[in-house]
Amino acid sequence: MTVTGPNGETHPAWGTSYDIKTNTATPMWVTSNTFCAGGFTLGNGQYAVFGGNQPVTTDGVAVNDKGKNPTGANPYGNTDGGEAIRVITPCDDGSCQWIEGGDDLTMTVSYHHPIWKKLTCRANGGTPPSRVLEMDP
């Protein structure tokens, strides 16, 4: 399943929505690689996803793999999912979108398989009065 972004770029879908009534998955635009990410539902009903995989090219080759990708090409324009925080507010009309990136939604440490590790994230950029979100496997 692929997704086309706002500027016409196409890449594998790293996020989808699923309609249980119609048994249909719809690709969603996410720029950071979500492979091996982990997440949970927040108290306000939003869903947060943390960590993931490095940026990749076709066939899953790492962007920074100098042997298989000597030019460092990044055809999908994807970012490092390991430091990413993604948040979505569920909706019923298909208009909901993932929010990701920026200072408030980027971890200072990269996490691949974050559900195996204890994560402590400070929302709102970590400045008081920030909310502390902990995920303990």
Q: What is the DSSP letter of 51?
A: -
CB 78 within 8 A of CB 61: no
pLDDT (0 to 100) of residue 118 = 53
Mean pLDDT score of the chain = 80
CB 123 within 8 A of CB 103: no
pLDDT tens digits, residue range 34-49? 888 888 888 899 999 9
For residue 94, give its domain range: 2-135
Strands (E), 42-93: 47-50, 85-88
Number of domains in the chain: 1
127 confidence band (pLDDT: 50, 70, 90)? very low
